[in-house]
Structure 1
Amino acid sequence: MKIKLNGKEYETSKNITILDLIKEKNISKDQVVILKNGDIVFKEDLEMNLIENDELEILRFVSGG
């Protein structure tokens, strides 16, 4: 299945959740904001399945000085 991840085409398995995807990418769910098709995904909604052509933006928090 093809989705768009941070502006780039990404091939993933069918029946994958957003949580599965961020785990696959070794990203902590506590350090990101996720947009799915332009809408914010709340932590309690991370178990929703992705479908063909979904667009995800994963924004990571970075600290510095």
Structure 2
Amino acid sequence: MNIQLNGQVTELPEKVKTVYDVLINYELEERIVIVELNGHILSKETYEQTKLSENDEIELVHFVGGG
């Protein structure tokens, strides 16, 4: 499936079906992440149930520590 991820067309592996699967795929499931799907910010509780479709637009914002 092809989606737009942070402005880039991205082909996801076949096993990626939900927003939570995307986070696992990019090793972000244990981090604080803001997910926007097609212009709507999702609550964390919905990540596992939110299925993806071809050409969905996802924006992922996560925080990086440093100083």
TM-score, length-scaled by structure 1:
0.85
- Superposed CA RMSD: 1.7
Identical residues among aligned pairs (%): 40
**Structure 2: runs of 5 or more not aligned:** none
Following superposition, the deviation at residue 14 of structure 1 comes to: 6.7
Structure number having the greater helix percentage:
1
| Superposition map of 1:9-48 within 5 A | 9-12=9-12, 13=14, 16-47=17-48, 48=50
Residue 62 of structure 2: which of 52, 60, 63 is its match? 60
For the residue of structure 1 that corresponds to 2:23, the secondary structure is helix
Letter in 1 for 2:47: L
Which segments of structure 1 move beyond 4 Å, counting only runs of 4 or more? none
TM-score between both structures, scaled by the size of structure 2: 0.83
